[in-house]
Amino acid sequence: MLKNKVALVTGASRGIGRAIALTLAGYGAIVIINYCGSKEKAEEIVNQIKENGGTAIAYQADVADFEAVKTMFSDITKEYERIDILVNNAGITKDNLILKMSEEEFDAVINTNLKGVFNCLKQASRIMLKQKEGRIINISSISGVVGNPGQANYCAAKAGVIGITKSLAKELGSRGITVNAVAPGYINTDMTAVLKDDLKEKVTELIPLKRLGEVEDIAETVAFLASDKASYITGQTIQVDGGLGM
Ligand code: NAD
C-alpha cells in the first residue's frame, strides 16, 4: 500500500508513534523514526523494521526547535531526495488546573504540541510543493475537540492542530497534498498509564465501544490516510475514540 514511500514519524520511539512507524513500514514505507529521548528505544524499532525486511533510520531532533527540524528535513532529502508522508505525532502533557498552571507548563506544551507541528509542516510543505504530492497527518486529540479540565494547555494546542490542518488543507490542496488530523480518544500508552484505575474504569464506562483504544487503532487510520485509498480526503479530523467524543 505504501511501497517505497518515504515517511517521517515524529516522536516515534514509543507509544502511538512507534505503532505508526511499524505499521507504515509493514505497508512498505521507508520510515524515519524521529525521537527526542531514548536513542536505544528508537534503534530497537529500526532493528525490528529491518528484521521484518523493511527500511528505517532513527533521527534525533526536538520538534520544538526550529533549526533542528530544518536540519532534519534537509538531511532526509539529502539521503532520500523526497518526503512522501509526514506524521506529526510528538506530544507531551503538563496537566494542571488553570490557577495552578505555570507559564512554563503552558509554553512547554504549546511549543512541542503546536509549534512543533508548525516547524515540521513548514519544512515538509516546501518539499511536497516541489514534488506536487504528499500526505500530512497530524495527531490531535479528542481533548482538542471537546476540552478537558486540567488540560488548558494541551487542549489549546490540540485544537490548534485541527485549525492548522484545515488551513494547510486549503493552502496545499491544489498541489496534490492532503492534510488531515487524527484525534485519538483514550489509548493504552505510557501517556495514559499514569491515570488511576478507577478513572480508567469511569472513562471506559463513558466510551460507547466500552474499551480504551489500542495504538494499532490509530496506526491503521494513519496508514489509510497516507495511502492512495484516501486521495480525496483532506482537511478532516478523524476521531478514533470508540465514540467518546461524538
Ligand atoms: P507518549 O508519551 O507515549 O509518546 C510521545 C512521544 O513523543 C515520545 O516518544 C516522546 O519522546 C516524543 N516527544 C515528546 N516531545 C518531543 C519533542 N519535543 N521532539 C520529538 N519528540 C518528542 O505518548 P502517546 O500516547 O504515544 O501520544 C502520541 C501522540 O498522540 C501525542 O501527540 C499525544 O498528544 C496524542 N494523543 C495520545 C492519546 C493517548 O490516549 N495516549 C490521546 C490523544 C492524543
Distances (CA, A) of 47 to 24, 41, 108, 213, 219: 15, 10, 31, 26, 19
Rounded to two decimals, the pTM is: 0.98
Q: What is d(CA 87, CA 31) in angstroms, rounded to the nearest whole number? A: 11
Mean pLDDT for the chain?
A: 97
Fold adopted by 6-240: Rossmann fold (3.40.50)
Q: What is the pLDDT of residues 190-211, one digit of tens each?
A: 888 888 888 899 999 999 999 9
Binding residues for NADP(+): 11-14, 89, 154-158, 187
CA of 238 to the centre of ligand 1 (A): 18
Tell me which residue of 141, 113, 104 sits closest to 11, measured CA to CA: 113
32 closest CA partner among 62, 61, 10: 10
Those residues whose C-beta lies under 8 Å from the C-beta of residue 163, and which sit 6 or more positions away, are none
User: Does the annotation count 154 as an active-site position?
Assistant: yes
Any residues with CB less than 8 A from the CB of 92 and at least 6 apart, and which? Answer: 108, 109, 112, 113
Question: Which runs of consecutive H residues, i.e. helices, occur in the chain?
Answer: 15-26, 39-51, 66-80, 103-110, 116-131, 143-146, 152-172, 190-193, 197-206, 215-226
Alpha-carbon distance values, 213 to 9, 29, 67, 207 (Å): 20, 24, 35, 10
Query: What mean pLDDT is predicted for residues 129-142?
Result: 98
CA of 153 relative to ligand 1 center, distance in Å? 15
Q: What is the pLDDT of residues 87-121, one digit of tens each?
A: 999 999 999 999 999 999 999 999 999 999 999 99
**Which three-class secondary structure state does DSSP give residue 37?**
coil
Percent of the chain with pLDDT over 70: 100
Q: Residue 204 — φ and ψ, nearest 5°?
A: -60, -40
Taking CA atoms only, the protein residue closest to ligand 1 atom 10 is: 11
Residue 189 CA to ligand 1 centre (angstroms)? 9
Catalytic residue among 35, 59, 154, 186: 154
